[in-house]
Amino acid sequence: MSVAYWRKTGMTQRLLLLLIISFTLVLLVAALMSSFYLQREQRAIYLDQQQAQVEQLVGRISKHYEQRMVLLENQAILLASSLDDLSRVEVLLQAFLSGQHFTDYLLLDAEGVALLDVPQVSGRRGTDYSYREFIREVMQTRQAVSSGPVFGTVSGLPSIFFIQPVKNPQGELVAMLVGRNGLEQEPLFESIRREFDVYGGRLVILDRQHQLFITATEPDLILQPLSRRQGSLLLEAVLRGETSGQVRAQDGRNWLYAHGDMSALQWSLIKMAPEAAVLGPFRVLQQHFLQMLLLMFVVIALLTGWIMQQMLRPVRRAINQLHAVLVMDKQDYEPLDAGLQDEIGQLLHAFDEVEALRRQQVKTKDELISVVSHELRTPLTSIHGALALMRPALAQQHYSQVAELLEIAQRNTGRLTHRVNDLLDMAALDSGQLSMAIKHQPLQPLIQRACSEVQCTAAMRQINLVQDVELEPPVLVSVDAERFLQVLTNLLSNAIKFSPEQTRVVISVASQSECVQVRVCDQGPGIPEHFRNQLFKRFSQLDPSDRRMHAGTGLGLAISRQLALAMHGDLGFYPNEHGGSCFYVELPVMQDNNSQKGSHKADARCA
C-alpha cells in the first residue's frame, strides 16, 4: 500500500482497514495462545488437580492401614493375659472378627507355628509360618510388621498380613497375632472404585514388587499380573520418579498421569486419562471462541463503519457550510455544535467559535462606524451651526452672541478631541506603543486633582461629590500621573453621568500594607446582571442605539482598565449595598523614596 493511496483514502476507509489488520492479528494471536499456552495451562491445571487427588487417596489408604495396625496392637494386648486358655483366646478372636476389620485372625506361637485361626480353615492349625520373611522379622525385632500382597499358604488368596508381637510382662515374645485382609474383599478399594466411576478417569494401584494390579477401575484387571503392554505404560511412568506427566502409548495416544507412592506397602497409585479426553472440551470451547471472535469482528467492523459515517456527518456538514460562508459569501450559517463532548464535538465548537468571532468582528466594525459617526456628527453639527450663526452676529457686531457661539464651538471641539484621543489610546494599547512616565508620587493630590476637574460637571447636575481620602501617613503609588488622572476622571464622570439629581458620588481610599484601593461609588440605577460580563469590553453600551440618553463611545472603561493594568494595578467593580455601583482602582503601595525599600513591588500587581 503506497503512501499516496493512503493519503487519498477517507477516514472511514482508513479506520476500517486498520480495524481489519488489528482484528486479524488479534485472531492469529488468540489462536496461537489458545493452541499452545492455554492448552499447556489447561494440562498443568488438570495434572495438579489429579496429583492432589492422588495424594489424598494415598493418605487415605495409608491412614486406613495404620488404623488397622493400631487396632491389632490393642487386640494383642488384650490377648496377652489369656494365652494360658486357648478356648478363651478363641472366643476373643471371634469377638474381634465380628468388628469386620480383618478377614480372619491367626495366632502363632513364638516359633511361628499356628495355634488358632478364626474362622477355622482346614489344615491351617499347626502349620509352621516361620519361613515367611515378615514372620521372621517379627521374631527377630519384636516389632509390629505389615506385609505386602502375598498369597496365602492354605487359602491361596492375595492378602495383606498385619503381625503384632504378644509379649509377657517381662517383654519376652510369647506369641504373634496375625490379622489378614483379603484384597479381593477390601471394602476401601470398592469405595474408591465407586468414586472414580462417578468422577471419571482411570485409576490403578500397582504392586511394584509383585508386578500386580491391586485394584483398578476396570474390574478385569483387579489382582491380575501386569501384561507387557500395560507394564511398559504404567511402570515406565512410575520408575521415572515423576509425580505427574505425559506418556505415549503404543497405539499413539497420549496419556496424562499423576501418581503417588505408598513406600511401606511398595505400592504406586496412578490416576490417568487420555489427553484427548482431557483437552477435548477445551478444544471445542476454543473453536467456539474463535468463531465468536470472528463473528464479533464482522459485527464490530459493520458497526464501526456505520458509527464513523454518523460521526463524520457533522464534519462534512461543517466543511460545506464553511465553504459556503467563506467562498460563496452566504450568510445563512447554522451552528454546528450538536452537543458532542468528544474531539469532533470540540472541532465543531471551534468552527462555531471562529464563525462567531468573524461575525463579532463584523458587528464591532459596524458598531464602530455607527458610534464614531454619531459621536463625531453631533459636535461637528454644533460647530457648523455655531460658525454659521457667527457671520451675521459679527456683521451686526453682536459680540456677546459671538462669544457664546465660540464657547459652543470650543466645547464641541474638545469632545471631538476626546473621542479621537480614545481611539488613538486604544490603538496604542493594542500595539503596545503607549508611552507612560511612571513615577513614585503621593496618591492624595492626584485624587484631589481629579475631583477638581469634574467638580463643575457635578455641580451642574446637582450631584454632591464627597471625598473621603484623608491618608496619614501619605501613601505613595507608582503611576503615570496623567494616565491615572484619566482613569479616575473617567470613573468619576461615569458616576456623575449615570446618577440621578440630588444624589451623591463618594470617592474613598482603602489602604493595606501592600496595595491601595481607590473607590468611586454612586447611587445610580446600577449595572444589570446580564451586562456585567460585557462591562469592560470595547464599544459595549447598555443602550447602543443612536437615541440613547447618555453619549459615549463605550471605550472609556475598556481603556481605563488597560491603563490600570499597564501601571501594575487593576480595575473592577461590585454592586453598592445601598444601591448603585462601586468601581475601584487597585495599585501597589510604594515605600518612601528615601528608604529605597520595596521598590520592586512596582513590578507586581496587587493580589
Report the length, in residues, of the chain.
607
Distance CA 357, CA 100 (A): 102
Give 191's Cβ-side CA count (13 Å radius): 7
10 vs 8: CA distance, rounded Å: 7
Q: Map out the domains of the chain with their CATH numbers.
A: 81-185 (3.30.450.20), 343-428 (1.10.287.130), 437-603 (3.30.565.10)
What is the rounded CA–CA span in Å between residue 177 and residue 604? Answer: 108
Pull the grid cell for residue 208: 511394584
553 Cβ neighbours under 8 A, 6+ residues apart: 371, 372, 375, 419, 422, 423, 539
CA distance 520 to 309: 59
The pLDDT score that the predictor gives to residue 301 is 77
The cell for 485 is 488622572
Q: Cell triple for residue 496?
A: 456623575
As given in the structure block, the three cell numbers for residue 43 are: 494440562
Q: Would you say 544 and 473 are in contact if contact means Cβ atoms under 8 Å apart? A: no
CA distance 70 to 130: 23
Over residues 290-347, the pLDDT tens digits come to 788 788 878 887 887 787 777 777 777 777 777 776 665 556 666 666 566 666 677 7
pLDDT score, position 524: 87
Rounded to a whole number of angstroms, the distance between the first and last alpha carbons of the chain is 60
Contact predicate 105/177, CB 8 Å: yes
Q: Is the pTM value of this prediction over 0.75? A: no
Q: What burial letters (b/e) apply to 432-465, b meaning 16+ CB within 10 Å?
A: eebeeebeebebeebbeebbeebeeebeeeebeb
Cis preceding-peptide flag for 473 (omega within 30 of 0) = yes
Q: What nine digits make up the cell of 5? A: 493511496
Q: What is the distance, to the nearest Å, from the Cα of residue 67 to the centroid of all Cα atoms in its chain?
A: 58
C-alpha distances (whole Å) from 38 to each of 34, 281, 545 are 5, 13, 79
The C-alpha atoms of residue 133 and residue 147 are separated, in whole angstroms, by 9
Question: 439 with 482: CB under 8 angstroms?
Answer: no
Three-state SS for 290? helix
Low-confidence residues in the chain, pLDDT < 70: 1-12, 152-157, 196-201, 227-241, 249-250, 325-344, 361-391, 393-399, 401-402, 405, 408-412, 414-416, 418-420, 422-427, 429-431, 433, 538-554, 591-607
Question: Residues with Cβ < 8 Å from 200, sequence gap 6 or more?
Answer: 273
CA neighbours closer than 13 Å in the CB half-sphere of residue 65 = 27
Query: Position of cell 463611545?
Result: 553
